[in-house]
Amino acid sequence: MLIATDIGNSSITIGYFTGTGLIVQRITSHPLQNEEEYRQLMNGFIKENNIEKSRCNGIISSVVSSHTNVFRKILEGLSGEGKAEVLVIDHRRSGLGFKIKAPEELGTDRIANAVAAFSLSGKPTAVIDFGTATTITLVDEEGDYAGGAIMPGIGLMNETLSRRTSKLPKVELRQPETALGKDTVGCILSGLFIGTAGAVERLVSDMEKETGLRCEIILTGGYSSLVDRSIQRPHAIRPHLTLEGLKIIYEKNRHQ
């Protein structure tokens, strides 16, 4: 079994790739818990889902450095048959080509997304990840990382509006009924979802003009299902794209 761990700013997503498929566990990233607390959470989940862990290895993508070594130690000791092999990815161990200035600064979740996207489509692809931040990752026709964009995520904008204004509430996140809001909540939902959808589609369109590419679109991330109906271009939703990419990267490194 392979345990793929994606440590993000808001949540930790753990994918257990078993012989029968993928089982996903989510844990909040903050506050940081200690090694034993995380181990108990994982062992409890493994037991509840009847996951066999006699032989397992791990791979980690992390954008929260304080969490990385904690989970490396947990995964190394989780196997029932000695110390597990655990790979912590960076741009040098991804098998991905880069056409950007500083690949070492790139979030490893975006690297995993790029690897998975090109593996799935074999074509130029824009991955739109609706997480804490909304990111666009563009993979070109050669399967190389060509660049992207970053903007505030839907949850972050919702929290900031309520915290930095005197009369705007933090709203329950749901799909807006119309673009034309008829009350304060409706206006906020329209801006958050339809506004974000319009922004990412404009960005992808401009990227295509700059590169001469026509891209497939893949949505992922925690808010992707809520934004789905607001995206006008044809697209696919892959909620576990990052985990899929981590599995591909692990297999590439194992066979090197």
**pLDDT value of position 84:** 82
The C-alpha atoms of residue 29 and residue 209 are separated, in whole angstroms, by 38
Comparing CA positions, the residue from 146, 58, 61, 71 lying closest to residue 112 is: 61
Quote the percentage of the chain above a pLDDT of 70: 98
Cα separation, 219 vs 239, in Å, equals: 7
pLDDT at 79 over 80: no
In the set 6, 109, 129, 140, the catalytic residue is 109
Q: List the domain boundaries for the chain.
A: 2-88, 123-239
- Of 236, 213, 240, 220, nearest to 142 by C-alpha is 213
CA 22 to chain centre: 16
Per-residue pLDDT of 96-105, as tens digits, reads 999 999 999 9
pLDDT 10s digits, 9-49: 889 999 999 988 999 999 998 888 888 999 999 999 999 99
Does 2-88 carry CATH code 3.40.50.300? Answer: no
Whether 109 sits among the annotated catalytic residues: the reply is yes
- Domain 123-239: state its class: alpha beta
| Same fold flag, 2-88 and 123-239 | yes
Residue 256's pLDDT band, with cuts at 50, 70 and 90, is: low
Q: Which residues contact 24 (CB under 8 A, 6 or more apart)?
A: 13, 14, 15, 16, 240, 243
**What pLDDT, in 10s, does the model give residues 57-66?**
999 999 988 8
